[in-house]
Chains A and B, each alone.
Chain A
Amino acid sequence: MNESLLRVEHLVKHFPMKAQTFWGDRQYVHAVDDVSLDVRRGETLGLVGETGCGKSTLARCIVRLENPTSGRVIFDGHDITSASEDELRSYRQQMQMVFQDPYSSLNPRRRVGSIIGDPFGIHGVASGTERKRRVQELMDLVGLNPEHYNRFPGQFSGGQRQRIGIARAIALKPRLLVCDEPVSALDVSIRAQILNLLADLQKELGLTILFISHDLSVVRHVSDRIAVMYLGKVAEIASAEALFDHARHPYTRALLSAIPIADPDLDAAREQIVLSGDPPSPIEPPPACRFHPRCPRAETMCAVEEPALIARLSDREDHPAACHFPVKDGESVAAAGKPS
């Protein structure tokens, strides 16, 4: 049996810019550029990266809210990249999405019961009293009071709204849940409630989750494996443990060192890598390794030859990193390469 539920192969998504240059060339935003990864059955794959790294675009391409420019998305052995709308509908019973903003992803003029019940109607699964019964069951499952069936989204707090979004997403018992920054808009105490809920649901329903976030500490908490993206490319993929203990890519190291830790002793003890500059524009990404202009280890080669995403040093096959000068265990990021 195939162990991966979802495979993404060489996925590319370029958005054309409105304005053309003086010579009439059209410019493109290179949102996702040749990304390959797989999500194994029953696991949570965390996808981290900063604003504009393409993580949300990748998610939207996977559930086909966007059509990829090239590359393939294979769900459970079927290529869905070119599936028709009808075919997609049946796949969407099996893959659902939870969005970041629980305010804009729920129609304010519709009652919660009918929002959560929508999937039953669209896919012709249940109607009438059966539908209401199942919606109330779902509300109970995600920790909402089933008596609030007839309320409007505006009558719920942010955390409760995210529960509504989750109830809607799991209504059809999907196999894959794509969560795009599901807790970023929530307060700390509410965030923990939602993270616990997702963990419980995963256990109960056997969900496979693609969890997208900019927050590495949240991703570490929920994920079995983690992929790090930078400017449309995957920089490194590893098990959560290996990524935190043996990160090879200097960008991963920098991200790890920038996580705010609520423990002054731990905070003082770790290596501080403060990157210079901002992430460059995805319209004209730097050549070769896209991280090289900000990388403390960059050498001439990094601007010439793109590093392949392969296992480095003596790492296992399933821990690839796209870097010519991977960081060894216990080595400081700035140490190798050029003297700083």
Chain B
Amino acid sequence: MTQLLLDVRDLTVSFHTSDGIVEAVRGVSFQVDRGKTLGIVGESGSGKSVATQTVAGLTRGARISGRAIFEGRDLLTLSAAELRAIRGPGIAMIFQNPLTSLHPFYKIGWQIVEMIRAHESGSAESARRRAIELLGHVGIPRPERRVDDYPHQFSGGMLQRAMIAMALALKPRLLIADEPTTALDVTVQAQIMRLMRRLQSEFGMAIILITHDLGVIAGVADDVVVMYAGQVMEQASRYGLFRQPSHPYTTGLLGSLPRINFPDERLTAITGQPPSLIHPPSGCPFHPRCPHVMDRCVTSVPAFMAVPGAEAHRSACWLLDPESIS
């Protein structure tokens, strides 16, 4: 049985900047089930990080509307103190660059201990024992010694392991991983992805995996959301998305990737540039770059329509509307 853990509805996030209002997220909805992995894929500026950071209460000064129901409570209406109580045991996050997520002057073990003690009562010693145990659990060799290392003494892969240890310390129900392996080498990336899968099955947590890499998504996500210019373009199960991509942006992204088994085919690049989010295009945000653009794409935003013949597979494209064919 699957159970809904996080339900995000119509989320909009905008920021005031000196250049104008940046509409970073424009009406995004997605759901995460308990114990499952949702992959959010998109390019720079697609809003994938802003959307999830807003859910975790990390976008200060932004104008936010919509709902984000986590275990029956709307995260967007909670006070700072209430959010603080949820972050850690409820929702934990890891980021792209582990070196900037850790304080360079404090020992790694101390930083994990501090996090544990901020949320739970208990002695410093027992928290330290937990930290050592956690570091060992994420594959740090000789954790009883490495616990007293400073961040610069760890390699990139080990730092990301330490970040994961810290995120898992309070056994969160949801882990938001924002490009967790982008800064790492491929062989280390494979280690970290394997570790995250193992820990997910042990702890039973749900994961939101944010990445620009369709290949990483294909390996781990149960469901996938494709974002572009602050909106969801397509949503499907992993197999649905890769076997039967529907939205022209998704097919464009897949066509842009060199395929291992077809080395000589020419890449079908998407022409043009991603749009500015200060003045997003009218209608479908992808219409200036879309090879199938029609008149109505310029004037009206496509509805989120079911893709025929596939369960829970939806795409925001007018091509799916029978009225467009005529």
A residues engaging B (CB < 8 A)? 50-51, 157, 159-160, 187-193, 195-196, 199, 214-218, 220-221, 240-241, 244, 254-255, 257-267, 272, 274-276, 278-279
Residues of A within 8 A of B188 (CB): 50, 278
Report B229-259 CB contacts with A as 1/0, cut-off 8 Å.
0000000001100110000000011111111
Cβ contact within 8 Å between B261 and A266 = yes
In angstroms, how far is the closest chain B Cβ from the Cβ of A157? Answer: 5
Is B60 part of the binding interface, using a Cβ–Cβ cutoff of 8 Å? no
**Cα–Cα distance between A161 and B218 once the two chains are bound (Å):** 30
Q: Which stretch (B78-86, B95-103, B265-273) binds chain A?
A: B265-273
Q: Is the interface of A mostly helix, strand, loop or mixed?
A: helix
Is B190 part of the binding interface, using a Cβ–Cβ cutoff of 8 Å? yes
Cβ contact within 8 Å between A187 and B274 = yes
6 nearest CB pairs, A to B: A260-B215, A221-B258, A192-B256, A192-B269, A50-B185, A262-B214
Cβ contact within 8 Å between A217 and B187 = no
**Cα–Cα distance between A218 and B194 once the two chains are bound (Å):** 23
**Cα–Cα distance between A159 and B270 once the two chains are bound (Å):** 12
Task: List 7 A-B pairs, Cβ < 8 Å.
Answer: A192-B269, A196-B267, A258-B186, A260-B213, A264-B219, A265-B239, A265-B242
Cβ contact within 8 Å between B43 and A188 = yes
Cβ contact within 8 Å between A192 and B267 = yes
Is B38 part of the binding interface, using a Cβ–Cβ cutoff of 8 Å? no
Q: Which residue from A257, A261, A267, A279 sits with its C-beta under 8 Å from B185?
A: A279
> 9 new A-B pairs (CB below 8 Å) besides A192-B268, A244-B263, A272-B194?
A192-B267, A192-B269, A195-B267, A220-B260, A261-B215, A262-B254, A264-B218, A265-B242, A267-B219
Whether A258 contacts B189 in the complex (CB less than 8 A), given A193-B269, A278-B155, comes out as: yes
Is B44 part of the binding interface, using a Cβ–Cβ cutoff of 8 Å? yes
Cβ contact within 8 Å between A244 and B269 = no
Is B191 part of the binding interface, using a Cβ–Cβ cutoff of 8 Å? yes
The residue on A at minimum CB distance from B139 is A276
Residues of A within 8 A of B216 (CB): 260
The residue on A at minimum CB distance from B241 is A264
159-191 of chain B: CB within 8 A of chain A: 185-191
Cβ contact within 8 Å between B158 and A188 = no
Cβ contact within 8 Å between A187 and B212 = yes
Cβ contact within 8 Å between B257 and A217 = yes
The residue on B at minimum CB distance from A157 is B273
In angstroms, how far is the closest chain B Cβ from the Cβ of A280? Answer: 10
Cβ contact within 8 Å between B190 and A274 = yes
Residues of B within 8 A of A272 (CB): 190, 194
Whether A258 contacts B218 in the complex (CB less than 8 A), given A189-B270, A217-B258, comes out as: no
Whether A217 contacts B260 in the complex (CB less than 8 A), given A189-B43, A262-B218, comes out as: yes
Q: Which residue from A157, A190, A259 sits with its C-beta under 8 Å from B186?
A: A259
In angstroms, how far is the closest chain B Cβ from the Cβ of A46? Answer: 11
Whether A278 contacts B157 in the complex (CB less than 8 A), given A189-B269, A193-B271, A264-B238, comes out as: yes
Residues of B within 8 A of A279 (CB): 185, 187
Q: Which residue from B185, B189, B242, B271 sits with its C-beta under 8 Å from A263?
A: B242
In angstroms, how far is the closest chain A Cβ from the Cβ of B101? Answer: 18
In angstroms, how far is the closest chain B Cβ from the Cβ of A267? Answer: 5
Cβ contact within 8 Å between B43 and A259 = no
Whether A188 contacts B260 in the complex (CB less than 8 A), given A260-B213, A262-B218, comes out as: no
Residues of A within 8 A of B187 (CB): 50, 254-255, 258, 274-275, 279
Cβ contact within 8 Å between A187 and B44 = yes
